[in-house]
Structure formats: structure tokens, C-alpha cells
Copies of this chain bind each other. A is one copy, B any other.
């Protein structure tokens, strides 16, 4: 009985979903609440859960059911779910457990070395552990590429963006390379001599939190199904029924935490509005890293840093934190849209950010394909920084190739998703505007619901029922196209 087989398969994934719930909560607690002495026991418990989930995913019974299920007896959504189930099982099965374990150990060692080497600007000290991480990632890429019949870097990229080919990515990034440097220098030139007045602290944590919660409510965050807390590095975790997002407050500054909250609220609303009927199955999960990032950036960049929104913010800022010259409306817009190329990716503005990504993409792709070795990274980094942002990083590993944590645990293929998300956000905003001509006027009146409802219908409620390219095409009428991003940046930074 095919139906029964499929139902049994769903049953196993419902169980996995519930195990994942426990892991998500333990992970959130670890970063927000757990006292330091609890770390070892927690790490053991979470590793045990990973083993359990891997065992359940790769169990002979799971594979038997997967082989026995008759796709033609399933409806469209069930077929989509089956596709996602199959992807997950294959992904868990393809990697030899010995390699997974070696990667986990090497990653932990390399991250530990990174925590000491970065502050000490010690690239040489970082190399031995990093070399091992790269060796193992190349091995992973080889295995995945052989199974998928694609290039090695593409195989890693597809861990984060299932279905994205390197050819499609190159089309997009090559387009970006054409116009980004010119647009960036134009934007910098245009803002010359217009430095904004900076907010003057101290800003109390409780005041900032109340302000953040007010903005979250305005953005539709459901506090019956989520919380806002504090962690060292902001993130959005938890489960769709109970989304836990975090921020970090500074007493000398108030916009960073607020924009961080708006960003994470984009991730959160996506999670809170995934399709109810599919919540316990792979088809009900968020689509991919780039799509997730497109939601946080729709909130932070498309909406949160728009002049229309920033003007809304002014009275709330004043009510929460008192008035001061920096809270003048035009100044707030300048603060939110300041373009200033710098060395650090996570501090980068909207226009220079993609340059940081192009640089990392070129290096990590060449590294995984074996075209360069780890020793070649600093030179490649320095050249690209000079070329893309006009900055000199020679000898400055701390603020150069040692700045990110991503490569330390072998997350090669991840960086591109940040810029794909930014581009998709611009494209979605353009599509939403076309569908809802009153969208901008309504936002200016203090009502973001046209935008939010459009995102809910076209992205959030879709979960993983469609593959990413189909999701984008159905929502916007065409494939991912960087032209919308270029237009958005030009409109905001050169014509606004």
C-alpha cells in the first residue's frame, strides 16, 4: 500500500522534526541563558541528539520506505515533500561518518586557533589547523561532486542552495562585477561632506528593548509564538511555533541593535508563517539560505533603511530614548544609508557589502577546486580588496582574511547566499510594488501590511513546496535577476 508507505515515511520525519525542536531549544538556551559551566554536558547532549537524528535519517527502514513509496499515488504537495525527504536522506547518507567526525574535530580545532590567532594577527599560526579543514572540505567536495555529477565547488554551494548551478551564479556575479565598483564610487562621491550627526549615548538596555519590541510588533512579529533576548552574536533560532530571536545592545549607540532586530524579525516572520499544514515535514521548512536572507534583508534593507520607514521611526526613537540632534529625520536617513567602504564585512553598508562577497567567492572557489593553496589567500585577498574597495590590507590579517569564522569549520559555499539574498530582496520588493501600487504610500502612512501580506503569500506560505528557482519565478515572473538590485541601489544612493 503506497499510501501507508508514504504515511510511515511522514511519521519518521515528524519524529525527526520533534527531535529537532529539542535541539533548537537547547541551542538557543546555550547562547542566551546557559551558565558557562553547563557547556560540556550541553555539548554532549546535543552531539547525542545529532547521532540519533543521523541514525534515524539513514536507518535501513527509512531507505526501505523511500524505495517503496509510489510517487504517482501522491498529490503535488506530497511529491514535493518526498523530494525534500529524499534530498535530506541522500545528504545524510552520502558522507562517510569518519569524514564527518574528522571535519567536526578539525573544525573545532581550527575555530579555537582562530580565536587566538585573529587578535594576534597571526596568519602563520592559523595555517596548520586551517590546512586540515581545507583538505577535508576538498574531500567532501570530491565525494559530493561525484555523486551529483557537478563541479566540486558547486557541490558545496548546493548544500546551502539546492538547485543553484555555478553557471547561474556566475551569470549573476559577473553582472554584479560590471557595475558594482562604479556605483560604489559614485555613491561615496555623492555623500562626500554630508557626514551625519552620530547619536550620543548612553542608551539604556530596557529602553532599547522596548523600542525594539515596538518595531517588532509593527512588523507583525507574534509574541505569542516567540521572544526577544540577548546574545553575543544576534541570531534567529527556535522553531516556527516559538521563534527565538536575539540582539545585542550597546550603550553608546542605538541604531545597530535596532537594525539588527529588524533584520532578525524578517527571518522570524518567515519562520512563524511557514505553511501550518506542513510544519512537521521537510516541505514545510524555509526554502534555502538565500531565500531566508532575502527576508531579513527585505525587512532591514528594503524597508528598514528606506526613508519612508526611517521617518516613521523618529517619534518612536524620541519616545523611547529622548530627543537629540541625531534624531532629526533627515539625519536619521543619512545615518541609515551611509556608504563607507571598510575592511570588515559585517560592518559593511548595503553598497559595499557585495564586494566583500565577490572577494570571498573567488577565493573559496579557487581553493576548493585546487587552483590555489591556503598560502595564496593573503595575496589574493589584498589584490581583491584593492581592486574592489580601493583599500590596502597588506599584513593586516586580523581585518583581512582572518576576519570571518565561516571558513574555520569548512562552510565553503555559504558566502554567496548573503548577496543572493540581497538581490532577491530587491527583486521581491519590485514585484510586490508592481502587484500593490499603493505599497509605498501605505508604508509612508505607517502601514507595512501590503508588503508583509505579499511576502506571506508568495514566500512564507510556500515553505519548501517549490524549488528555489520556481519559487522566485512564480513570485516575481522571472529568474533571479541582479538588475533589480542595481536599480534599488541606484535609486537609493544615486537618485534618492
Contacts and interface: CB of A to CB of B under 8 A. Distances in A.
Interface of A: 15, 18-19, 21-23, 25-26, 29, 33-38, 40-42, 44-46, 48-49, 52, 222-227, 239-242
Nearest to A222: B37
Decide if the interface of chain A is mainly helix, strand, loop or mixed.
helix
A41 B22 contact: no
Contact of A36 (B40, B44, B224): B224
A34 B42 CA distance: 19
A242 B38 contact: yes
A43 to B, nearest CB: 10
Given A15-B48, A18-B45, A25-B29, 5 more contacts: A18-B48, A19-B49, A25-B25, A26-B26, A37-B222
Contact of A242 (B41, B48, B227): B41
Contacts of A36: 224
28 contacts: A18-B49, A19-B45, A19-B48, A19-B49, A19-B52, A21-B26, A21-B41, A22-B23, A22-B26, A22-B46, A22-B49, A25-B25, A33-B33, A33-B227, A34-B242, A35-B226, A35-B227, A36-B224, A37-B222, A37-B224, A37-B242, A38-B239, A38-B242, A40-B241, A41-B239, A41-B241, A41-B242, A42-B241
Contacts of A52: 19, 52
Contacts of A40: 241
Contacts of A22: 22-23, 26, 45-46, 49
Contacts of A34: 242
Contacts of A224: 35-37
Contacts of A242: 34-35, 37-38, 41-42
Contacts of A240: 41
Q: Which 5 A-B pairs have the closest CB atoms?
A: A38-B242, A37-B224, A18-B48, A21-B45, A41-B241
A354 B23 CA distance: 42
A85 B225 CA distance: 39
A15 B49 CA distance: 9
A280 to B, nearest CB: 8
Nearest to A33: B227
Contacts of A45: 18-19, 21-22
A225 B44 contact: no
Contacts of A48: 15, 18-19
Contacts of A222: 37
A356 B430 CA distance: 70
Contacts of A29: 25, 29
A29 B24 CA distance: 12
Contacts of A42: 21, 241-242
Contacts of A23: 22
A330 B378 CA distance: 73
A44 to B, nearest CB: 6
A241 B38 CA distance: 5
A227 B193 CA distance: 51
